Amino acid sequence: MSYLDLHTTGHRRRALPLASLIAAALMVPLSGQACGPDFPNRLLVNRNGTLLYMPEGNFAFEATRLVPVDPQLPRWQAPAPATPPKPMPLSPEQQAIAQMRATQTVEEADAVNAQGLSNAARLYTLGAVAFAAEDPRASQYFQQVLALPAAEQEAWGLRAQYSLGRLLMGDHGTPENESGSEPVVKHPEKAQLEQALAAFQQVIDQVKSGTADPDQLALSSLGQQARIHLWLGEIAPAAQLYAQQAAQGESRWWSLAAIYLHLSGQPAACGGVKTGHSRFRWCSSWSPLSCSPAAVIWRCPASLTVRPASNSLSIRP
């Protein structure tokens, strides 16, 4: 072996340990954090403080992770922005519906020229007028919509099914007296509330089967079912339904906060809350059998923000 070969071999032997040292030096920063690479350095600066005190959580974020997203249900979409300064002209159908909705009785609504309306739209609108007037004929009109062939119902069929659920649960909005407080509302009997649960479940099942849901009534039905379970004193299914709403993206986490406050025995005392845009109505005390979650009420700790419940997503019957 020549001198050149011996020199080259020795150089390679010296280069191998050197390369190992360089590689080890480069790997030191990766293994230096004993707690794992996923912990931010700011948590490791004061380890005692990090380990001895509970971190501040984000209830709104964690509420969306209580249950998995249901792929068969739509994801919540924020309401459209305010009407532009120059709204688009109404179609003949929209004009006829607006004229019918402006009336006070079913007879007045039926007298409106509804030539541009489909049969389903006319029947549903008559039911909506009866609903607003608390006319018992509302149920008959909604049933007539559902009796039509599926191809003729269009979107009105799902709305009629949802409105039937509201009728059965006695949901005619949240009354408010002059002092701003809400009176105790007498709810229907358990058998009728169970019928309402079934009506809302039909809405959910139809949407899961592929029925179009432009008004997000399936998500609103989850909230209505939760309300009924609260009225019946069934906290667990109510929490499950509100959690599903939150998982789908709807801002229903404050309803879960209300349930927590109720279970923990903390009183609710928000009263009437005024904002820059509208006045939200709240119950003077929270009870699953008396509080109407048209605006779900819970105590107002500084770490939480008071917001209205979002059943307003549903189309006004």
Query: Tens digits of per-residue pLDDT, 304-317?
Result: 333 333 333 334 45
Say what the pLDDT of residue 143 is: 97
Say what the pLDDT of residue 273 is: 31
Q: Is 53 exposed, middle or buried (0-12, 13-18, 19+ CB in 10 A)?
A: exposed
How does DSSP assign 249-303, residue by residue?
T-S-HHHHHHHHHHHTTPPP---SEE-SS-EEP--SS--TTT--GGG------TT
Say what the pLDDT of residue 262 is: 66
Say what the pLDDT of residue 58 is: 66
Say what the pLDDT of residue 294 is: 35
How does DSSP assign 4-48, residue by residue?
HHHHHHHHHHHHHHHHHHHHHHHHHHHHS-TT-TTS-HHHHHTHH
Q: Which range among 79-93, 192-206, 250-264, 279-293 shows the weakest confidence by mean pLDDT?
A: 279-293
Say what the pLDDT of residue 203 is: 97
Say what the pLDDT of residue 205 is: 97
DSSP reduced 3-state for 141: helix
CB burial of 135-173 (b: ≥16 within 10 Å; e: otherwise) equals: beebbebbebbbebeeeebbbbbbbbbbbbbbbbbbbee
Highest mean pLDDT among 15-19, 155-159, 239-243, 267-271: 155-159
- Domain ranges in the chain? 91-154, 183-317
**Is the pLDDT assigned to residue 291 strictly greater than 50?**
no
* Whether the Cβ atoms of residue 35 and residue 44 lie closer than 8 Å to each other: yes
Residue with tokens 């667990």: 236
State which amino acid sits at residue 295: A
**Is the pLDDT assigned to residue 33 strictly greater than 70?**
no
For 28-33, what is the mean pLDDT?
48
**Is the pLDDT assigned to residue 59 strictly greater than 50?**
yes
Say what the pLDDT of residue 282 is: 30
**Is the pLDDT assigned to residue 65 strictly greater than 50?**
yes
pLDDT band at 20 (very low <50, low <70, confident <90, very high): low
Say what the pLDDT of residue 266 is: 60
Stronger pLDDT, 277 or 104, i.e. the higher one: 104
Structure tokens at 148: 């039509």
Say what the pLDDT of residue 161 is: 97
Evaluate if pTM is beyond 0.85: no
